[in-house]
Amino acid sequence: MMSCKEVAALSSQYLDQELPLLRRLSLQLHLMACRTCRGLVRGMRSLSRVSSVLRTRAGRCYDDLAAKLTEDLEKDQRN
């Protein structure tokens, strides 16, 4: 059976669905038997899920900057 060390090393690839079938099954078998590794994988999955809160800064709008930059661009193109 896979060791905790191997599971920890492969946990990100497991979450990113990048492990080949046999390794995935072997890792899942370990998870069924090991509470500690289950906690690690669950914690990392949850972290990935909540991370998108950082995607944008709240309440920002780019309409003004877009208008300014494209206006400059059009001026450039006319010259």
Partner 1 sequence: MPEMAETPEFLERLRRRDGEACRRMIVELGPELEGYALHLLGDPQQVDDLVQETLIAALESLPKFDGRSRLRTWLFSILHHKAYDRIRQVQRHRAREISLEAADPLAESFDESGHFRVQPEDHRPDPEQLFESDELRQRLTQAVGDLPARNREAFLLRDVHGMEIEDAAGVMEIKASHFRVLLHRARVMLRKLLNSERDPS
Rounded to whole angstroms, what are the CA distances from 79 to 35, 60, 69, 76?
69, 32, 16, 5
Q: Applying CB under 8 A, does 8 fall inside the site for partner 1?
A: yes
Smallest gap from Cβ 21 to partner 1, in A, equals 19
Q: Is 16 in the site for partner 1 (CB under 8 A)?
A: yes
Residue 27 near partner 1 by CB under 8 A:
no
Regarding 12 and contact with partner 1 (CB under 8 A), the answer is yes
In the bound state with partner 1, the residue whose beta carbon lies nearer, of 25 and 69, is: 69
Mention every residue, 6+ apart, whose C-beta is less than 8 A from residue 46: none
